[in-house]
Chains A and B, each alone.
Chain A
Amino acid sequence: MEAFADFWATYSTLIFTVGIHALLALSLWLTLSCGLLSLANAAFMGIGAYTAALLTLHLHWPFPMVLAAGGLAPAVVALVIGAPTLRLSGVYLAMATLAFGEVTRILVLNLEITGGPEGLNGIPLLTTWWHIVLILAAAGYALARLRRSRMGRAFEAIREDEVAARMMGIDVEGHKLAAFTLGAVLAGLAGALNAHSTFFISPREYGFENAVDILTMTILGGISSLIGPVLGATILTLLPELLRFLHAYRLAVNGLILIGVVLFLPTGLWDSRRLGQMLRAWRTRWEGKP
């Protein structure tokens, strides 16, 4: 028991981070599942984090309401900016959402209420492990249900061929806006949880680098199922820690591993189709033996 207490004292922050990153990767998975390459999710996370932190610090709202507001605030922003930007596709959408992220970061950097470059200090540590587990599990369940519904099929159809999806009677713009907005809700929740587990937030944490990190986690894990993003988030969060023994070479080796994965497993670590084929191949090999 004491060993566990020691372990928890040392690694609880890391485990919290894994959970929050997994939620972020799922939020981007949702946007990508509709074919939208968005770099706005880091900014949505920031909006959620600041909204939640300000509500706790100034208005002393109860934590569940703070979390709900942290998810809703970026969703409202997503609805407003989604209508014009989601007309773009591919890298153009990536650029527009990147610009939105920068605008948000600079705005937060210069506003008085957000504490400017110094950020917000003294946020009470209200996030507990079960908050993260509960929200992650609920998000995973909701997304799994979504995949099996007509909306999930419509997202996939839009990703695979937008014109054909439109000709099948699918409201492409409406579905894209839904995917973008629901992704913002999940990112905002991750931000609210993050703000109440780190004591301190600043604009630096929600910028371009973070946006790319979220994208890397999701793509590295693979977007063919929900397991991929969670796996990618876990690995990318733990890898720098596991490579600590390499000291100065740590980040270089980290980068090399990522390049290796992208080169040799372009569909991500967890590709359900590839795994299914491998499983079948193994089975026939075993059964083929006398």
Chain B
Amino acid sequence: MSMLSSRGLGKHFGGLQVLHDVNLEVPGGAIFALIGPNGAGKTTVFNLVTGLLRPSAGAISFEGQDLAGIAPHRITRLGIARTFQNIRLFPDMTLLQNVMVGRHHLTNYSGIAALFALPSFREAERRSRERALELLSWVKLDHKAESTADNLSYGEQRKLEFARALATEPKLLLLDEPVAGMNSTEKAVLMEEIRNIRDRGYGVFLIEHDMRFVMNLCDRVAVLNFGRIIAEGAPEEIRNNPEVIEAYLGRGDEAEVLP
């Protein structure tokens, strides 16, 4: 039973066809990867799922609900959270505040309660802070809760983005190139974090072009090339698929034609 699925998904920007007839079945509680060379249209898939872009064709459904025309912040509230390829934190806010922003729609009190610091306000804020600290401890950043996000190293910023996304209490977490620009040590740490997240019961849907990273981590892989899905299956099947190898490395005879 898939959690997120797309049928005949297409997207064009003017005359540029970015995605063409993309059918995906993303399972819950597992790590699913969408891989493909740079410019294949992977991030566009995320932007369509999260509602930042509207599909030109086809439909996306999450837990059986059609996502067409639903505002991005409502899609988040349905249980889809994401991170960004070019990390988008709130740099001047503390780590704790960053994560608490993710709990915005789960922190409920009236304006009056906030104005006079009534018990309902204090209780909701306390619960929100406790959960935020718990999430920070999952990614081992709780000791830095009060420093501002722009003081973090690159790897820590990624982990903070994970915690912030988890704060929205999603069922499915979309990670856009989580290990981009990282060295192998940092990659290993992050891979462990992603496994931890899956083991806690979240579905993970990630985009990556680092093949080795994906093959060691994922339960299922789909390959996107020039806006089309060219293969889907378990990592071993993908690794040996000639079309995938061609998409990544090119064809032997083409190489010989080059001067």
CA distance A170 to B75 in the complex (A): 11
Interface residue? A166 (CB, 8 A): yes
CA distance A148 to B128 in the complex (A): 13
Partner-contacting stretch, out of A114-122, A123-131, A152-160, A234-242 = A152-160
CA distance A164 to B76 in the complex (A): 11
| Binary CB contact string for chain A from 133 to 152 against chain B (1 if under 8 A, 0 otherwise) | 00000000010011011110
Q: Using CB atoms, name the residue of chain B closest to A169.
A: B76
Binding site for A on B (CB under 8 A): 50, 52, 71-73, 76-77, 81-82, 84, 88-93, 97, 100-102, 104-105, 107, 109, 111, 114-117, 121, 125, 128, 164-165, 167-168
Task: State the interface size on chain A (CB cutoff 8 A).
Answer: 23
Residues of B within 8 Å of A165, CB to CB, are: 90, 101
Q: Using CB atoms, name the residue of chain B closest to A161.
A: B88
Q: Say yes or no: A157 contacts B168, CB within 8 Å.
A: no
Q: Say yes or no: B107 contacts A150, CB within 8 Å.
A: yes
Q: Say yes or no: A153 contacts B52, CB within 8 Å.
A: no
Q: Using CB atoms, name the residue of chain A closest to B105.
A: A169
Q: Say yes or no: A171 contacts B73, CB within 8 Å.
A: yes
Residues of B within 8 Å of A106, CB to CB, are: none
Binding site for B on A (CB under 8 A): 142, 145-146, 148-151, 153-154, 156-157, 160-161, 163-172
Q: Please judge, given known A-B contacts A142-B115, A169-B105, whether A156 and B90 are in contact too, CB under 8 Å.
A: yes
Q: Say yes or no: A169 contacts B73, CB within 8 Å.
A: yes
Residues of A within 8 Å of B77, CB to CB, are: 169
If A168-B73, A168-B102 are given as contacts, then 14 extra A-B residue pairs at C-beta distance below 8 Å, sorted by A number, are: A149-B114, A149-B121, A153-B104, A156-B93, A161-B89, A161-B90, A164-B84, A164-B88, A167-B73, A168-B168, A169-B76, A169-B77, A170-B73, A170-B105
Which of the listed residues A145, A150, A161 has the most CB atoms from chain B within 10 Å of its own CB? A150
Q: Say yes or no: A167 contacts B50, CB within 8 Å.
A: yes
Residues of B within 8 Å of A166, CB to CB, are: 52, 72-73, 76
Q: Using CB atoms, name the residue of chain B closest to A152.
A: B114
Chain A binding surface SS class: helix
Residues of A within 8 Å of B102, CB to CB, are: 168-169
Q: Say yes or no: A157 contacts B82, CB within 8 Å.
A: no
CA distance A156 to B92 in the complex (A): 9
Residues of B within 8 Å of A145, CB to CB, are: 114-117
Q: Using CB atoms, name the residue of chain A closest to B47.
A: A163
Q: Please judge, given known A-B contacts A160-B91, A164-B89, A168-B164, whether A153 and B114 are in contact too, CB under 8 Å.
A: no
Q: Say yes or no: B104 contacts A167, CB within 8 Å.
A: no
Residues of A within 8 Å of B165, CB to CB, are: 167
**Which of A151, A161, A172 makes the CB contact (< 8 A) with B73?**
A172
CA distance A169 to B71 in the complex (A): 10
CA distance A164 to B91 in the complex (A): 11
**CB pairs A–B below 8 angstroms (8 shown):** A145-B117, A150-B100, A151-B111, A164-B90, A167-B50, A168-B104, A168-B164, A170-B73
Residues of A within 8 Å of B114, CB to CB, are: 145-146, 148-151
